[in-house]
Amino acid sequence: MFLLRLVVFLILVSLVVILAYPLLIILNLSNGGDGFGLCNDLIACEIPFIEGPRILIILIITFFFLVAVLRIIMKYLNSINKEETIL
């Protein structure tokens, strides 16, 4: 039971990180960074046209996969809680 709650917590943290990842890339680029490997040199940066949509699709698929896993775990936890009642 505790392990399942820990997994739920980790999934929720992962969802927040997935939602914040594009903002972290922009913040990193604005501070002179390389956008977490997206662009090595900001002045001579040539990001391929498909890179943005590829990152977006990966983040969306990962987000919905984690939401589905979270939903399955929560249904399982609810079924466990219903069986443990004394009524």
Least Cα distance to 10 among 59, 80, 57, 70 occurs for 70
Is the CB of residue 1 less than 8 Å from the CB of residue 80?
yes
Burial of 62 (0-12, 13-18, 19+ CB in 10 A): middle
Of residues 13 and 87, more confidence is placed in 13
Residue 52 three-state SS:
helix
Place 31 in a pLDDT band, splitting at 50, 70 and 90: confident
Distance of alpha carbon 45 from alpha carbon 34, whole angstroms: 9
Helix residue ranges, H only, 1-87: 2-30, 51-83
Q: pLDDT tens digits, residue range 56-87?
A: 899 999 999 999 999 999 999 888 887 766 65
Q: What integer pLDDT is reported at residue 84 of this predicted model?
A: 65
